[in-house]
DNA sequence: ATTGATCACACCTTGC
DNA sequence: GCAAGGTGTGATCAAT
């Protein structure tokens, strides 16, 4: 019973396999992370605190990224401004 | 100001960097998975069904693993029994 | 000191009591389960194997439920398709 | 092939069914609890806080039970003491 | 008694 | 904004 469904079936199969393959890899890495935490615990670290540190650093990184994005927006605006004499003067005065 | 905490600090730093590196990799893979779902959606697949299929297949795999574990446990128990003449007789009669 | 908060307070009290009553019942059942395991152990059963069997059976049930859910979703999707002449033709040809 | 294993099999079946029946009941109650939380949420309560309250009350109850147990131990000791004239005097004086 | 593993529960993020 | 899935945490149970 070959039909138009065959292509769909093959596509579907491919999609599912790609996802399952990726999830497998993801799981391997997640297991690695658990292992690192386990080792750290054996070495006397408090994993709960450790996790908090990681989370805090992630938040900081996000904030930095946010700030960088804002800065970039400013710079882009200044770039436009820089095309005018008035803008160029402002840029120079403010040290950009 | 070198002190007794320096080794700990270095260790801690190493641990955190290992974890952050792994989490970064994990995120990359998670993003890949999202991308595959997005592509599949564009190709006309219903991602809701897709996800259900994936989880169902995962469950199947887990169940098979579970059953294999039970079988192994059974066999280990039978192996112990098999070390005694009485046990061997029982095992044979019951078709194991 | 009757005030506007009184209704809320009464509601809150009722909610908390309902939950605590249910959790109490839940705990009683959990204790019953423990007791059954203890009895089984006394009767010579290996509780470890017992638990594995129970969980495997649970997984089977879950998987069946999951598959039923997928089937339902499929059928719903097909039901939508079936509302169009083109869809109906495809559905019939592919044996649904 | 009737054998000595048949009784075991029947017993095993009975045990498994009892446990599964109890776990089913437990799940029903757990679902009831979820439902109460859901209703509470609809009524405008913050379920997170609600859970904290429940937990805190549970802890208090445990503490009270603990204290009651200690009290009981004391009372038992006093009961023994009460069998002696000296003990009885102490009990009376301290208001037990 | 303690420790390690297993499991249910609660929280939180993500997709819809 | 809600529903769902993944993740972290706490409790429970076996083994030493």
Summarised one tens digit per residue, pLDDT across range A75-91 is 999 887 777 777 677 77
Q: Span A43-65, mean pLDDT?
A: 91
Band the pLDDT of B83: cuts 50, 70, 90. Answer: low
CB A78 within 8 A of CB A91: yes
Q: Which of D16, D20, D29 shows the shortest C-beta gap to C26? A: D29
Q: Measured between CB atoms, does B43 come within 8 Å of chain A?
A: yes
- DSSP assignment string, B34-77: HHHHHHHHHTT--HHHHHHHHHHHHHHHHHHHHHHHHHHHHHHH
Q: How many CB atoms lie within 10 A of CB B53?
A: 20
| Contacts with B46 from chain C: Cβ below 8 Å | 73, 77
Band the pLDDT of D64: cuts 50, 70, 90. Answer: confident
CA closest to C1' of E14 belongs to B34
Q: What is the pLDDT of residue D61?
A: 87
Q: Span B22-40, mean pLDDT?
A: 97
The DSSP secondary-structure symbol of D45 reads -
Same domain? B11 vs B50: yes
Asked if strand E contacts B49 at the CB level, meaning under 7 A, the answer is no
Same domain? A51 vs A77: no
What whole-number distance in Å separates Cα of residue C2 and Cα of residue C14?
18
Domain that holds residue D54: 1-58
Q: Span A24-48, mean pLDDT?
A: 93
Same domain? D68 vs D96: yes
Q: Measured between CB atoms, does A14 come within 8 Å of chain B?
A: no
Same domain? B80 vs B54: no
What whole-number distance in Å separates Cα of residue D67 and Cα of residue D71?
6
| Contacts with B77 from chain C: Cβ below 8 Å | 46, 49
Q: Tokens 């609890």 map to which residue?
A: D33
Asked if strand E contacts D51 at the CB level, meaning under 7 A, the answer is yes
- pLDDT exceeds cutoff 80 at B11: yes
Q: What is the pLDDT of residue C2?
A: 61
Q: What is the pLDDT of residue D79?
A: 80
HSE-CB of B14 using CA atoms within 13 angstroms: 11
Using C1' positions and the CA of D27, the closest nucleotide is E8
Same domain? D46 vs D71: no
Q: What is the pLDDT of residue B19?
A: 95
Same domain? C5 vs C16: yes
Can you list the positions of beta strands (E) in D1-96?
Answer: none
Domains held by chain C: number: 2
CA closest to C1' of E11 belongs to D48
The H or E element containing residue D73 is: helix D47-81
Same domain? C35 vs C68: no
What whole-number distance in Å separates Cα of residue D19 and Cα of residue D96?
45
Give Cα separations from A40 to A34, A53, B3, B22, C24 (angstroms): 10, 14, 21, 15, 38
What whole-number distance in Å separates Cα of residue D3 and Cα of residue C56?
26
SS3 state at A65: helix
D59 CA to F11 C1' distance (Å): 14
Q: What is the pLDDT of residue D63?
A: 85
Same domain? B79 vs B47: no
CB B40 within 8 A of CB B50: yes
Within 7 A of a protein CB, which nucleotides of strand F?
5-10, 12-15
A48 CA to F1 C1' distance (Å): 31
* Average pLDDT for chain A: 87
Q: Tokens 């904290």 map to which residue?
A: D52
* Average pLDDT for chain D: 86
CB atoms C74 and B48 under 8 Å: no
What whole-number distance in Å separates Cα of residue C58 and Cα of residue C60?
5
Q: Tokens 């039901």 map to which residue?
A: C79
Q: Measured between CB atoms, does C94 come within 8 Å of chain A?
A: yes
Q: Give start and end residues of each alpha helix (H) in chain C.
A: 5-42, 47-81, 85-93
- pLDDT exceeds cutoff 70 at D95: no
CB D11 within 8 A of CB C43: yes
What whole-number distance in Å separates Cα of residue D80 and Cα of residue D83?
6
Same domain? A44 vs A64: no
Q: How many CB atoms lie within 10 A of CB C40?
A: 20
| Contacts with B93 from chain D: Cβ below 8 Å | 1, 3
CA-based nearest distance B95→chain D, Å = 9
- Enumerate residues 6+ apart whose C-beta is below 8 A from C47: C37, C40, C41
Identify the CA nearest to A19 among candidates C89, C68, B62, B50.
B50
Interface test with C, best of D4, D5, D14, D32 (most C CBs within 10 A): D32
Same domain? D50 vs D96: no
Same domain? C46 vs C85: no
Same domain? C65 vs C38: no
Maximum pairwise Cα distance, chain C: 75
Q: Span B60-77, mean pLDDT?
A: 89
Count of C-D CB contacts under 8 Å: 65
């Amino acid at each position: 019973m070959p039909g138009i469904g065959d292509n769909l079936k093959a596509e579907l199969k491919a999609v599912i396999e790609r996802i399952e393959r990726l999830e497998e890899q993801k799981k391997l890495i997640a297991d690695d992370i658990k292992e690192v935490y386990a080792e750290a615990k054996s070495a006397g670290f408090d994993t709960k605190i450790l996790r908090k540190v990681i989370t805090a650093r992630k938040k900081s990184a996000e904030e930095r990224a946010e700030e960088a994005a804002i800065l970039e927006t400013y710079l882009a605006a200044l770039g436009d401004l820089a095309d005018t004499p008035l803008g160029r003067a402002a840029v120079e005065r403010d040290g950009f």
